[in-house]
Amino acid sequence: MPDWTWRYEGYDPAQERLREALCTLGNGYFATRGAAAESTADAVHYPGTYAAGCYNRLTSQVAGRAVENEDMVNLPNWLRLRVRAVDGDWFSPDHCSVLAYEQALDLRRGVYTRRMRLRDGAGRGVLVEETRVVHMGDPHLAGQRLTVTAEGWEGELEVESALDGNVCNDGVERYRGLDGRHLTGVECGATGADTVWLSCRTSTSDIQVAMAARTRVVDGSPPLSPPAAPGGSTAVHRLRRPASPVRPVTVEKTVAVHTSRDPAISDPVSAAVQRAGRAPAFAELLASHTTAWESLWQRAEVDVRDEAGHLLRLHLFHLLQTLSPHTAGLDVGVPARGLHGEAYRGHVFWDELFVLPFLNLHLPEVSRAMLAYRHRRLGAACQAATDAGLAGAMYPWQSGSDGREETQRLHLNPRSGRWLPDHSHLQHHVGSAVAYNVWHYCAASGDTDFLYGEGAEMLLQIARFWARSAVWDPAHERYRILGVVGPDEYHDAYPGAAHPGLDDNAYTNVTAAWVLTRALELADALPAPRRAELYERMGLEPSETERWQDVSRRLRVPFHSGVISQFDGYGELAELDWEGYRRRYGDIRRLDRILEAEDDSVNRYQASKQADVLMLGYLFPPAELSALFGRLGHRLDDDLWTGTVDHYLRRTSHGSTLSGLVHGWVLARSRRSEAWSYVQEALLGDAADVQGGTTGEGIHLGAMGGTLDLVQRGLTGLDPGPDALRLDPVPLPGLSRFHLSLRYRGHWGVGLTVRHGQLHVSAPESAQAPLRIALGDRLETVPPGSSVTLDLPAG
Ligand code: BGC
């Protein structure tokens, strides 16, 4: 059985940020990096706390221009809990001799522990043991228990428990030229015998944030004198206790967090103070927290027996901490870097494409909430399309609070020090990702209310956008979509072109054709009154849907040298000297930065950041992809597909953690022997910080979710349709024994076990109709409370 503990031994300042990100604790409402409790932000440490969807907008001066950015705000640091001998310095591994140091994350219970033995300059030793939780049952609560044992001396210890409002967004070096001071109006106070509170507001979005901390010593001694009314921007509570080797001091800190976005509160400060005050003692808090995690693990069971199981469990843990059942009640999307750091400013990209298909079969209410986030911003997406002279919904590449385009227009190349134009907002394919998720969420859950309601509104508007974007080219006798950027963000213009954008990105066009086809299908399936209402509201005429039909069949897919071209003209770009660059630079994942720093441009070469054309093999099972190409008038046979896979495999630098995942997924079906190294890269993406320093700035949630989905859908070929649960497994030796528990429509807890070349499916007891399983030509019916074992095709 893979281990449930994620562990680090020894203190290593160079690794601290990585460990902080991977030891983050969260509950979907908020999360806090696994920073040392005694630390403040400096070159080594970065305690960060983020509430889902809490953004703020600031304007900075960059390269002589005013640049506006919206960021997920780093909230006051509630972790601060430190200790010293009354006449000494605060104990910390940075300033003391470190005799022992251990950090462990108990993934099953969601508990972080840190244990260190330190000796200060005066030779006083201490054993410091901290246990920390961010409560999974009550999303507004967190707690710490700190036990300090004096080793070889006796004396008085001072413990400081604080809420530190003196924080800003400073976690990503590249953004340091930008203003990161988002909090204002910090006020602190004390209440009762043991509680301090802090309140502040975000400077432009005007969200009030309040925290309260109750600190108690657990030695049965009389209550402490109340904390002095704190001033300044930190609410501090200090207390003293005698300590000796036989008399450890244990302190419990219980923290409550509220913001003015919360429902059912009067005001954030009183809500936080009350909640902290009413919270039970730490042991009880720990028990209810553990129970909440237990049921969450049951709902999202993925048990992989091979070595990869440990990493997958870590991925699932962080996924569930970012998107938990509590998230279902919030107006938030899928943050690309979790709630674990400040990279990409907490923005929402297309990464939900890699996360929702997994969640659909475990926490469908969370998927629905993520889609509701998109639906609430449908108006903004339609406005963006109108502003661009188009129609329908043009979803932003990066989305934050209100759904406007948040992609920065300048980005820094740290290698050259130059600020450069950023054209990644031209990735309009994000709209297809939204549509794909609507479709697949509804197929897996059977939620026709959503499909006919918000789902149809989004799908039809996205289809309208694609149809309107497509222009007829008589020379090719095809529709074309011009001036876009595909998933491979390296190419954003033709070499030497005055304008950004590329024409006929195959991924964009094929997914657009898919969206149009699905939209037409849905339009037919809508109950007549709803169809009439929707058409009326959208001003949709039959002539428009006729055009959708036409565009869905005649969008252009470019080809060159017997392979699908990433975009029109891709085949004419120069070949890169891959070996030469690897020799010179070693790691060439960020080839774009390397070439720009050489005054060259990646736009000149057949060199991609990540899977682009091959994304098609990730999204669509082989038969569906062939049918899609067939509809577009092309024959997609094995030769064309394997030739295309070969072509791009040799020309991709994997500058995104999504790349290894997609390549592993695609190769598992086309060239299995090579799949494993890509899958491994995806599995190790964050644990080994494969992209060199990026994990410390936040986990890569898409890749984490995607590796789980690789087991769930990639290797099983699972396609949860309305008529049956279709399966089309492919073996991958490194991931050959696993068990999943799924929620498929009315069946809660469908068991799917792959082992020894067999597939075992069990249907849970229920009053539902029997489960229908399709494996190749075989159709099996599994009544509730029974199971079936099928031999997997050899291969
Ligand atoms: C990738 C995008 C991804 C973004 C956020 C970028 O590096 O190229 O595909 O959406 O990171 O994860």
Residue 652's pLDDT band (boundaries 50, 70, 90)? Answer: very high
Q: Ligand 1 centroid vs 78 CA: distance in angstroms?
A: 30
Q: What is the pTM of this model?
A: 0.97
Average pLDDT over residues 644-663: 96
Strands 55-62 and 49-51: unpaired
| Helix (H), strand (E) at residue 56 | strand 55-62
Nearest CA to ligand 1 atom 8: 656
Locate the ligand 1 atom nearest the alpha carbon of residue 655 and give its number: 7
3 state DSSP class of 761: strand
CA distance 427 to 709: 24
CA distance 560 to 568: 9
Domain 363-566+623-641, CATH among 3.40.50.740, 1.10.287.3510, 1.20.1740.10, 1.50.10.10: 1.50.10.10
CA distance 498 to 488: 20
Q: Angle at CA 126, nearest 5°, toward 120 and 132? A: 115
Q: Which of 70, 489, 596, 681 is catalytic?
A: 489
pLDDT of residue 232: 86
Q: Ligand 1 centroid vs 685 CA: distance in angstroms?
A: 13
Q: Is 610 one of the annotated binding-site residues?
A: yes
b/e burial code for range 293-315 (CB count within 10 A of at least 16 → b): beebbeebbbbbeeebbbbbbbb
Q: Of how many residues is the chain composed?
A: 795
b/e burial code for range 511-539 (CB count within 10 A of at least 16 → b): bbbbbbbbbbebbeebeeeebeebbeebe
b/e burial code for range 430-441 (CB count within 10 A of at least 16 → b): bbbbbbbbbbbb
Nearest CA to ligand 1 atom 7: 656
CA distance 134 to 780: 44
Check if the beta carbon of residue 55 is closer than 8 Å to that of residue 72: yes
Residue 306's pLDDT band (boundaries 50, 70, 90)? Answer: confident
What are the respective helix, strand and coil percentages of the chain, to the nearest 5? 35, 25, 40
b/e burial code for range 403-426 (CB count within 10 A of at least 16 → b): bbbbbbbebbbeeeeebeebbbbb
Q: Is 351 one of the annotated binding-site residues?
A: yes
Check if the beta carbon of residue 771 is closer than 8 Å to that of residue 723: no
Residue 171's alpha-carbon distances to 125, 130, 167, in angstroms, are 32, 24, 11
The DSSP secondary-structure symbol of 484 reads B
The long-range contacts involving 591-595, CB below 8 angstroms and separated by at least 24 positions, are: 591/490, 591/653, 591/655, 592/413, 592/489, 592/490, 592/655, 593/413, 593/414, 593/415, 593/416, 594/415
CATH architecture group of domain 5-298 = Distorted Sandwich (2.70)
Q: Ligand 1 centroid vs 385 CA: distance in angstroms?
A: 23
Check if the beta carbon of residue 568 is closer than 8 Å to that of residue 475: no
Half-sphere CA count of 232, side-chain side, radius 13 A: 10
Check if the beta carbon of residue 337 is closer than 8 Å to that of residue 48: no
| pLDDT tens-digit series, residues 760-778 | 999 999 999 999 999 988 9
CA distance 269 to 343: 29
Comparing 221-225, 463-467, 483-487, 517-521, which segment has the lowest mean pLDDT? 221-225
Average pLDDT over residues 570-593: 97
Amino acid 305 reads R
b/e burial code for range 106-115 (CB count within 10 A of at least 16 → b): bbebbbbbbe
Residue 756's pLDDT band (boundaries 50, 70, 90)? Answer: confident
Ligand 1, residues at Cβ distance < 6 Å: 336, 344, 349-351, 487, 489, 609-610, 656, 658, 702
3 state DSSP class of 482: coil
Average pLDDT over residues 713-721: 94
Check if the beta carbon of residue 558 is closer than 8 Å to that of residue 570: yes
The DSSP secondary-structure symbol of 571 reads G
489 part of the active site: yes
Nearest CA to ligand 1 atom 12: 336
Q: Ligand 1 centroid vs 590 CA: distance in angstroms?
A: 13
**Sole residue written with tokens 């049918």:** 627
Report domain extents, the chain: 5-298, 363-566+623-641
CA distance 114 to 7: 10
Does the structure show a pLDDT above 60 at 506? yes
Q: Is 578 one of the annotated binding-site residues?
A: no
| pLDDT tens-digit series, residues 316-346 | 999 999 999 999 999 999 999 999 999 999 9
Please enumerate in sequence order all residues whose Cβ is within 8 A of that of 146, keeping only pairs 6 or more positions apart, or say none: 37, 81, 83, 128, 129, 130, 159, 250, 251, 252, 253
5-298 shares its CATH topology with 363-566+623-641 = no
Q: Is 350 one of the annotated binding-site residues?
A: yes
Check if the beta carbon of residue 241 is closer than 8 Å to that of residue 223: no
| Paired tokens of 486 | 């595909």
pLDDT of residue 794: 73
Does the structure show a pLDDT above 80 at 231? no
